[in-house]
């Protein structure tokens, strides 16, 4: 399973309609080398966390409004949302174990 691609139109519904499950959103861009390094980890997490968390991505080049809304200044930046609210912001490439712990917190 791949991370869900979010757009300006689908973002708010995706982070708030999750029955209390956390949503990890990766703010990324195609030209970003570290973002490409993180992608396989997020793909793996998306499959393993299915049913207990949602893994999603926002392409900041296609949706700069979302990047501005959350003050994204460096990528990759990942934000964990719970009940539609940001609870944790992570910048840079992190290990799968680190991201699993962030989802569980």
Give the separation between CA 76 and CA 1, rounded to whole angstroms: 20
Active-site residue (options: 15, 35, 45, 66): 35
Give the separation between CA 45 and CA 67, rounded to whole angstroms: 22
Active site residue 35: yes
Active site residue 32: yes
> Can you tell me whether residue 59 is helix, strand or coil?
strand
Active-site residue (options: 32, 39, 90, 93): 32
List active site positions.
32, 35
């Amino acid at each position: 399973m791949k991370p869900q691609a979010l757009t300006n139109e689908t973002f708010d519904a995706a982070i708030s309609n999750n029955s209390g499950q956390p949503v990890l959103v990766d703010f990324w861009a195609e030209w970003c080398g570290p973002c490409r390094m993180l992608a396989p980890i997020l793909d793996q997490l998306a499959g393993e966390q299915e049913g207990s968390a949602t893994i999603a991505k926002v392409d900041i080049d296609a949706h700069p409004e979302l990047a501005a809304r959350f003050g994204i200044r460096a990528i990759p930046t990942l934000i964990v949302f719970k009940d539609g609210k940001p609870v944790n912001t992570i910048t840079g490439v992190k290990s799968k174990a680190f991201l699993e712990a962030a989802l569980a917190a």
